[in-house]
């Protein structure tokens, strides 16, 4: 594709400036390379993420505008709030990262396949083992019914994918994640590209340059911890949810 940078596998983890990204398709910056830990961390630190399908090279993206969620702006739908107040479900951080990413990779209705190919899952599991990727899980008894996972650098959380096996499960994990990250003074949750689901939850779009400014600031602050995270006790019980004051 004219104007697209090709990265050789094993080359140093260097990317072209975000301004070099294509307008069509929106945000495509480079192709090739590999999914090594070093390259992934270098990409996220520059607001770049991989996304590609079977038969394609690794494609690297930095869309403009960027869909983000400020943790303090999380919207709790009335029905979801009622479900949480009536629930006995439990939430956790980093209890079942592998199972969450496997569930996120499962084919969904109306989709012919998954972008979470085996090498992608292995790469994010490696980031998790190194303390840079985290999951949040929702359990009904011993059954995992919802979750999401993403990457953390500094005080920025890059959301990657989520799943639900019961109604509202992905909403509940996103709500509790946002509430925890707000307490930890995170700048943003990166949602990458807009979808009706995240927009209904309070996400909005920022110009790329604004997103990168927030990212630069977030990288100057240390992550809460390197290694497994722990939810605050009052957030680990969905049934303990109390609506935020209006």
d(CA 167, CA 180): 22
Q: Residue 118: in which H helix or E strand, if any?
A: helix 118-129
Residue 211's contacts (CB-CB under 8 Å, 6 or more residues apart) are 47, 65, 66, 68, 188, 190
- Check whether residue 55 and residue 98 sit in a common domain: no
- Check whether residue 137 and residue 202 sit in a common domain: yes
- Check whether residue 169 and residue 87 sit in a common domain: yes
- Check whether residue 54 and residue 108 sit in a common domain: no
- Check whether residue 108 and residue 94 sit in a common domain: yes
pTM of the model: 0.93
- Check whether residue 116 and residue 30 sit in a common domain: no
Q: Residue 246: inside a domain, yes or no?
A: no
E strands in 165-219: 188-192, 204-206
Mean pLDDT confidence for 205-213: 98
- Check whether residue 82 and residue 159 sit in a common domain: yes
We report the CATH number of the domain holding residue 58 as: 3.30.70.3550
- Check whether residue 89 and residue 139 sit in a common domain: yes
- Check whether residue 153 and residue 232 sit in a common domain: yes
Give the other-Cβ count within 10 Å of 182's Cβ. 15
Q: What is the pLDDT of residues 116-162, one digit of tens each?
A: 999 999 999 999 999 999 999 999 999 999 999 999 999 999 999 99
d(CA 6, CA 189): 29
What is residue 238's predicted lDDT score, i.e. its pLDDT? 86
The whole domain housing 47 covers 5-64
d(CA 145, CA 133): 20
Per the structure, the count of domains in the chain is 2
pLDDT of 112 strictly over 50:
no
- Check whether residue 42 and residue 142 sit in a common domain: no
> Nearest to residue 202, comparing CAs of 185, 228, 182, 223?
182
- Check whether residue 190 and residue 82 sit in a common domain: yes
Q: Residue 109: inside a domain, yes or no?
A: yes
Q: Residue 245: inside a domain, yes or no?
A: no
- CA end-to-end span of the chain, whole Å? 50
């Amino acid at each position: 594709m004219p104007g697209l940078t090709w990265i050789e596998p094993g080359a140093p983890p260097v990317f072209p400036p975000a301004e070099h990204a294509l307008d069509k398709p929106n945000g495509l910056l480079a192709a090739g390379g590999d999914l090594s830990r070093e390259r992934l961390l270098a990409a996220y630190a520059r607001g770049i993420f991989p996304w590609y399908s079977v038969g394609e090279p690794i494609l690297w993206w930095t869309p403009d505008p960027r869909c983000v969620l400020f943790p303090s702006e999380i919207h709790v739908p009335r029905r979801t709030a009622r479900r949480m107040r009536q629930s006995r479900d439990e939430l956790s951080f980093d209890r079942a990262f592998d199972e969450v990413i496997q569930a996120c990779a499962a084919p969904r209705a109306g989709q012919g396949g998954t972008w979470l190919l085996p090498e992608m899952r292995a790469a994010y599991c490696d980031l998790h083992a190194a303390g840079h990727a985290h999951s949040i899980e929702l359990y009904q008894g011993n059954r995992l019914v919802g979750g999401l996972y993403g990457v953390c650098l500094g005080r920025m959380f890059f959301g990657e994918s989520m799943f639900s096996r019961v109604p509202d499960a992905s909403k509940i994990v996103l709500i509790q994640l946002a509430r925890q990250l707000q307490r930890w003074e995170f700048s943003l949750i990166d949602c990458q590209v807009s979808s009706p689901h995240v927009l209904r939850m309070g996400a909005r779009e920022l110009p790329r340059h604004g997103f990168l400014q927030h990212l630069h600031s977030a990288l100057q602050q240390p992550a809460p911890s390197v290694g497994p995270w722990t939810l605050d006790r009052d957030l680990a019980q969905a049934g303990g949810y109390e609506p935020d004051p209006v």
